[in-house]
């Protein structure tokens, strides 16, 4: 069975969620409340252990006070930056 998960993208998304949550000064519990999801789910997203559905991505973006396209753009920018830094360190 093929996997559709992209670990680098998941790590970038995890880091972006955590960074934005920090900017807002809210806890995982508060983000979960705002997004209407379970706090343990937020924790697993921030550890890159869960790959959220499109619906949950949208809910998280609302909780993070970002439009979904902005959240994804920031995630992709972070992923590209991380990839460039990885290449430089080799």
**pLDDT computed for residue 84 by the predictor:** 87
Model pTM score: 0.89
Q: Which range is least confidently modeled, 40-44, 54-58, 84-88? A: 84-88
Confidence of residue 2 (pLDDT cuts 50, 70, 90): low
**pLDDT computed for residue 43 by the predictor:** 98
Distance CA 16, CA 41 (A): 15
Confidence of residue 40 (pLDDT cuts 50, 70, 90): very high
Distance CA 57, CA 32 (A): 12
Both tokens of residue 41? Answer: 């789910």
Confidence of residue 86 (pLDDT cuts 50, 70, 90): confident
**pLDDT computed for residue 74 by the predictor:** 97
Q: Quick check: 90 pLDDT over 90?
A: no
């Amino acid at each position: 069975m093929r996997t559709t998960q992209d670990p680098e993208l998941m790590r970038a998304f995890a880091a972006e969620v955590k960074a934005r949550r920090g900017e807002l000064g809210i806890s995982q519990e508060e983000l979960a409340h705002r997004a209407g999801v379970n706090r343990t789910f937020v924790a697993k997203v921030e550890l890159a252990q869960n790959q959220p559905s499109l619906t949950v991505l949208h809910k998280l973006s609302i909780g993070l006070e970002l439009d979904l396209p902005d959240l994804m753009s920031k995630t992709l920018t972070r992923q590209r930056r991380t990839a460039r830094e990885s290449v430089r360190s080799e």
